């Protein structure tokens, strides 16, 4: 097949996770480094859409960007769209400190959200969202993954994301869901394009 | 005199503080509500500059915007440019929780920074910065001000900003310093403009 899509990111972990998903659809990823302009006071969807349009303007070709965040229920959704910045400043220990007084797992609910925005043009951006519910663990556990993976346990598992292989994490993860949705959409649309071409050829 | 400048904000506290400063320069403030587009992963200067240009594009006239943040030393600068979002989610109690293990005031250093960006055109933005050093208090104290004021004690005071009147806070505060710098610049430039006009009138 040989379908390849551009993915604007410099995060090696995101590239590997997206590759592991999209290869099942016969789609390759070409990572490109563009400066990602993120806007504040916005949902992940708006941030990803804005960034995808900026990336499209820069490269002049269809391009995917991804933005993700961890939303902790008892912290009113914190760190949310600013997960990256919060990770780099107060870190995992800061999050555990903030939840110190929540002693049972049921009170430590969190949601991981990933949004993949695929810009086909400046005006046409497809949005694929993946949501995974779970809990914040009591301790930092595991060495896989990145970011908040060592403190996030998805529903129906006892492991944190950082205790899973890429393949296992992808089964559960927000990013896995979002990239599967992108893969399905791409394959469906390739077939549509083919059909249209074939019909045109047959004179329909 | 009757000089008036546009200030793009909907924060009543910021309007009152800026008014109390600029009236000393004979300058009035006209607040306008424009949607403020803030970019992530940026310094306050970049955020304010970007927002000022957006506001200028919207109103077509010179306009000021202000952005401020609290940078806590032991938290690697957190909450920094995202002070607003952090305030609305984990709040003052979250900050005190994160600093719980820092038992002496000397280990609770923080810096309040305000940046006023005054866009004269899309390409010409003046930046006025005010910085105030201090400490994070052990408790929430006072009912004045807004935001992090009840937990910030500037150097050379024993009061939090929230325990001060607007006038007293303005003497110490980052915002006071930034708006005084704007006021001084405006007055200096008005005189320059006058001089140029007079010289032109006299045939120079």
A67, A101, A104, A149: the catalytic one is A67
Radius of gyration of the CA atoms of chain B, in A: 18
> By C-alpha distance, which of A197, A111, A130 is closest to A170?
A130
Which comes out higher in pLDDT, residue B10 or B182? B182
Active site residue B101: no
The residues on A that touch B, with CB distances below 8 Å, are 36-41, 47, 75-82, 84-86, 88-90, 94, 97-98, 100
Chain A: residue nearest B85 by CA?
A41
pLDDT for res A189:
87
Q: How far, rounded to the nearest angstrom, does the alpha carbon of residue A170 sit from its chain's CA centroid?
A: 10
What digits encode the pLDDT tens for the residues B139-181?
999 999 999 999 999 999 999 999 999 999 999 999 999 999 9
Nearest CA to A8 out of A25, A29, A39 is that of A29
Burial of A122 (0-12, 13-18, 19+ CB in 10 A): exposed
Task: Name, in order, each residue with C-beta under 8 angstroms of A35's C-beta and a sequence gap of 6 or more.
Answer: none
* Over residues B21-43, mean pLDDT: 84
- The complex scores an ipTM of 0.79
Buried/exposed code over A70-104 (b: 16+ C-beta within 10 A; e: otherwise): bbbbbbebbbbbbbbbbbebbbbebbbbbbeebee
Partner-chain contact A89 B100, CB within 8 Å: no
Residue B194 has a pLDDT of 67
Which of A38, A46, A85 to mutate: most B Cβ within 10 Å? A85
pLDDT in the model for residue A113:
97
pLDDT bin (cut points 50, 70, 90) of residue B196 is low
Which helix (H) or strand (E) is B164 found in, with range? none
Which residues from B are below 8 Å from A when comparing CB atoms? 36-41, 47, 75-82, 84-86, 88-90, 94, 97-98, 100
Q: Do A41 and B36 touch (CB under 8 A)?
A: yes
Q: How wide is the angle at C-alpha A109 spanned by C-alphas A106 and A115, nearest 5°?
A: 155
- Per-residue confidence in pLDDT tens, chain A, 204 aa: 578 999 999 899 999 999 999 999 999 999 998 876 666 667 899 989 999 999 999 999 999 999 999 999 999 999 999 999 999 999 999 999 999 999 999 999 999 999 999 999 999 999 999 999 999 999 999 999 999 999 999 999 999 999 999 999 999 999 999 999 999 999 988 777 666 666 666 655
Whether residue B131 is predicted with pLDDT greater than 60 in this model: the reply is yes
Distance (Å, whole) CA A54 – CA A202? 39
DSSP A116-166: EEEESSSS-EEEEEEEEEEEE-SS---SSSSTTGGGEEETT-SS-GGGS-H
Per-residue pLDDT, averaged over B91-120, amounts to 97
> Which of A39, A82, A86 is opposite residue B37, by nearest beta carbon?
A39
Work out how many domains chain B is built from and give that number.
1
Contact B88 A80 (CB under 8 A): no
Q: What is the mean pLDDT of residues B135-141?
A: 98
Chain B hits for A69, CB-CB cut-off 8 Å, are: none
Catalytic position from the list B67, B101, B104, B149: B67
Nearest Cβ partner for A75 among B77, B79, B89: B89
For residue B121, what is the domain's CATH number? 3.90.950.10
- Give the residue numbers spanning the domain of B113: 3-201
Q: A88-146: per-residue pLDDT in tens?
A: 999 999 999 999 999 999 999 999 999 999 999 999 999 999 999 999 999 999 999 99
Chain B residues within an 8 Å CB radius of A39? 37-40
Distance from CA of A76 to the nearest CA of B (A): 5
Residue in A79, A82, A90 closest to B75 by CB:
A90
Using a CB-CB cut-off of 8 Å, the residues of chain A touching B75 are 89-90, 94
* B94 vs A40, A89, A98: nearest CB: A98
């Amino acid at each position: 097949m040989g379908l390849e899509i551009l993915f604007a990111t410099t995060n090696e972990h995101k590239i590997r996770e997206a590759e592991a998903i999209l290869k099942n659809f016969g789609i390759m990823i070409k990572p490109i480094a563009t400066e990602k302009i993120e806007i504040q006071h916005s949902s992940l969807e708006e941030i990803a859409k804005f960034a995808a349009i900026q990336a499209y303007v820069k490269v002049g070709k269809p391009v995917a960007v991804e933005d993700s965040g961890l939303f902790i229920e008892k912290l009113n959704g914190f760190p949310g769209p600013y997960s990256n910045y919060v990770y780099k400043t107060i870190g995992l220990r800061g999050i555990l400190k903030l939840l110190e007084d929540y002693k049972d797992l049921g009170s430590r609910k969190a949601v991981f959200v990933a949004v993949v925005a695929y810009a086909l043009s400046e005006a046409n951006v497809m949005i694929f969202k993946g949501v995974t519910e779970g809990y914040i663990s009591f301790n930092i556990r595991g060495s896989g993954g990145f970011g908040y993976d060592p403190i996030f346990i998805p529903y129906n598992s006892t492991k944190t994301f950082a205790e899973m292989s890429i393949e296992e994490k992808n089964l559960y993860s927000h990013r896995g869901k979002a990239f599967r949705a992108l893969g399905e959409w791409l394959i469906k649309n390739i077939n549509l394009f083919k059909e249209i071409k074939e019909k045109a050829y047959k004179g329909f």
